Structure 1
Amino acid sequence: MLQVSHQSHPLLCALAAAVAWPAVRAARRRYTAGALGESRGSLQVLGDWMVLLGVLAVLRTAVGEVAEPSSALAGLAWAPLLTTVCRRVTYHRLIAARREAHAVRRVLVIGEPGAADHVVGHLASRTEHAYVVVGVVPVGSAKLECGAPVTERLGALAPAAHADDAAAVLRAAHEHSAELVLVAPGPRLPAERLRRLSWRLHDAGLPVALLPGLIDVQVSRIGLDATAGLLVLHIAPPVRHGVQVGLKTALDKTGAALGLVLLAPLFCVVAAAIRLTSPGPAFHRQVRCGQHRTHFTMWKFRTMVADAEARKAELERTGANEHDGLMFKMRRDPRITAVGRFLRRCSLDELPQLVNVLRGEMSLVGPRPPLPEEVDHYDETALRRLAVKPGLTGLWQVSGRSDLSWDETLALDLRYVDNWSLAGDLDVMARTVRAVVDGRGAY
């Protein structure tokens, strides 16, 4: 009688895992053109790894034990780690290629002149996406001069008259070698006209994409449903409660406590340097606005002269503010001390805010905490950035800091507030190290 051997076969296990891992990734469509190199979060890799364990468990049951569980898990632990590293490298190479106008899809935009202009401007303002607009077809019976500003910037001739004239759209797509037709629906392009147009485009082999009008909503928050023949787009609300929020709070408290203990010697050195080089206290306390507009006292190392707040009003009167928004920023602020300039360059002045994090007034990651007088001038859109706790670091700090305009700063904060996730926080923390070393925008 043939007996199945239950001896350990490490090489066989390694070969099975080496074949199963890319097979699992391929089955979950990780290597498609629309997914390869795109940033979708590290939790996706962990999910694939769990599927791999299930596949290998089935194989082990079918053919007999090929390795001890402990040795198998030790070997397979490298799979998600190496895959994550490769994904990050591929992602950065893809973004660099797109900045040089490589690895992009040629897009023909269809929409009313105003909507088309907005779409073209929005796509042109960023370089990390896969679309390059090569032409625009105006919707309806709009006069040609309505579409001229869009087409002049593109250097492309807009075909005439009606976007539902499939012949005109196909002619424009052929002339500009478009690979995708991007449609911005509006009153002049209702569902039935869009349906007929999509039939003709699909019959000609051209894919069609629709813009729902949403901005900065992550794919993970979107779901699709078909109800009575209607396509329904479901948008999940931002995460404000639950396990992830509890984990964030635990991470904040633990990280702040460890940071204060480990950095205590550095705090002493910095405090002594400040006291010895300029008169005044080592720490600077300032009232800021936190979550839901709650006031709290924020701690920082003092980087300016002791009467900096009194001198700010005079600088504002002379037009010294170099920022276009509500924040006051100067590249060569005369109030900053020599030690303070070094602290800001290395972001060491922010470290005392770990006390605020430990007290629950701030988080390790979040929007920049604004001054009360800044918040007094906020509109409804800007007030939404106070829906979460302010952070010691955040998208603003890792994306250019003071070099960013107010509109760019607000857009980053709203993107964080609406799309927050624990994996996103971990990513920002990792990027903070590079931002501190780079020092761009730190003044």
Structure 2
Amino acid sequence: MYEKYVKRILDIICSLIVIILFGWLFIIVAFLVRFKLGSPIIFKQPRPGKNGEIFNLYKFRTMTDDRDEKGELLPDAQRLTSFGRWLRSTSLDELPEVFCILIGTMSLIGPRPLAVKYLPYYNEYEMHRHDVRPGLTGLAQVNGRNFVNWDERFAYDVKYVNKITFWNDLKIIFLTIKAVVKRTGIEACGSFTLQDFDEYRQNQIKHGEQ
């Protein structure tokens, strides 16, 4: 009952409340991004959603468009400014995802939507993370955030998919707020980056671990 009907209704209500109450914050962050990083203000990227269907995820941009002498974009680490790292560490860059929740491509709680290029590398067990709408936050995010390895992250994702309840969602919301306020689960200087999953899985196959 909750998963099939109530959860979607709560997603709509909560996303509308956030947009109405924090519209001023959206405007301020958008202005700062435009001033410090340029345009476009919004970063758009395709991600797999429920049942692996592709949708566009929206975030505030956190990197510049700086290029080398050949006109090619510099590595991410060089384009990520201190302001961009701050946006990521406070999760303010993810504010536009509220609109994805409103239109139904995402949910407030669920497995985080990852890169499309990862799809061929999931095993059958891991693919179950796509049985539900991806979330703004999820069980993996409140259990280590960036410091959880891929196997643990997917285990948390599937655990959530197998037991979706109102009380579990409510607990994840409060733990998310706590993690964001305390900035737990992220590297102190904001530079920690988890190895890409496709590389991680290829290394597993190479060493006979998968």
Scaled by the length of structure 1, what TM-score is found?
A: 0.40
Counterpart CA distance in 2 for 1:244 and 1:412 is: 18
Give the secondary structure class of the aligned counterpart of 2:99.
helix
SS state at 1:396 partner? coil
Matches within 5 A, 1:336-415: 336-415=80-159
Question: In structure 2, the residue corresponding to 1:369 is in which secondary structure?
Answer: coil
Contact 1:364 1:391 in 2 (8 A): yes
Q: Superposed, which structure 2 residues align to 1:21-420 within 5 Å?
A: 242-306=1-65, 311=73, 333-420=77-164
Q: What is the Cα deviation at residue 346 of structure 1?
A: 0.9
SS in 2 for 1:395: coil
Asked which structure has the greater CA Rg, the reply is 1
The one-letter code of the counterpart of 1:380 is E
1:246 is displaced (CA, Å) by: 1.0
Specify the code of the residue in structure 1 equivalent to 2:122.
Y
1:418 positional shift: 0.8
> Does the aligned pair in 1 maintain the 2:110–2:135 contact within 8 Å?
yes
Residue in structure 2 matched with residue 42 of structure 1 by the alignment:
none
Q: Does the C-alpha gap of structure 1 residues 305 and 441 become closer, same or farther in structure 2, counting only changes over 3 Å? A: farther
Deviations 1:83-115 (A, max 9, x none): xxxxxxxxxxxxxxxxxxxxxxxxxxxxxxxxx
Q: Tell me the TM-score normalized by structure 2.
A: 0.81
Q: 1:311 to 1:399 in 2, by over 3 A?
A: farther
- In the other structure, the counterpart of 1:6 is none
Q: Offset at 1:294?
A: 0.6
For residues 441 and 244 of structure 1, what CA distance do their matches in structure 2 show? Answer: 28
| Structure 2 unaligned blocks of 5 or more | 191-210
CA distance in 2, matches of 1:278, 1:355: 22
| CA–CA separation in structure 2 for the residues paired with 1:415 and 1:243 | 17
Q: Percent identity?
A: 38
Distance 1:396 1:290 in 2: 17
Provide closer, same or farther for how the CA distance between residues 408 and 279 of structure 1 changes in structure 2, counting only shifts above 3 A: same
Structure number with higher relative contact order (C-alpha < 8 Å, ≥ 6 residues apart): 2
Give the AA of the match of 1:274: V
Letter matched to residue 19 of structure 2: L
The Cα shift of 1:409 comes to: 0.6
Please tell me the residue identity of whatever aligns with 2:159.
R
Amino acid at match of 1:420: I
Question: Counterpart amino acid of 1:245?
Answer: K
Structure 1 letter corresponding to 2:8: T
Label 1:375 to 1:300 Cα distance change in 2 as closer, same or farther (>3 A).
Answer: same
For 2:32, give the aligned amino acid: A
- Asked if the contact 1:365/1:393 (under 8 Å) is kept, the reply is yes
Distance 2:73 2:118 in 1: 18
CA shift, 1:244, in A, is 4.3
User: Shift in Å at residue 408 of structure 1?
Assistant: 1.0
1:336 Cα deviation from its structure 2 partner = 1.4
CA offset digits 1:343-368 (Å, max 9, x no partner)? 11111111110000000000000001
Consecutive unaligned residues of structure 1, counting only runs of 5 or more, are 1-241, 316-332
CA contact (8 A) 2:49 2:134 kept: yes
For 2:58, the aligned partner's letter is: W
From the superposition, tell whether residues 357 and 334 of structure 1 become closer, same or farther in structure 2 (CA, over 3 Å): same
Q: Counterpart amino acid of 2:100?
A: N
Give, in angstroms, the shift of residue 307 of structure 1. 6.3
* 1:280/1:306 contact within 8 Å kept: no
For residue 387 of structure 1, what is the amino acid of its counterpart? Answer: D
Q: Give the letter aligned to residue 337 of structure 1.
A: T
Q: Distance in 2 between matches of 1:259 and 1:337?
A: 27
> Separation in 1 of the partners of 2:45 and 2:179?
25
Matching residue's letter, 2:88: R
Shift in alpha-carbon separation, 1:296–1:307, aligned structure 2, 3 A: farther
**After the TM superposition, which segments of 4 or more aligned residues of structure 1 sit over 6 Å from their partners?**
none
Equivalent position SS for 1:249: helix
CA contact (8 A) 2:44 2:56 kept: yes
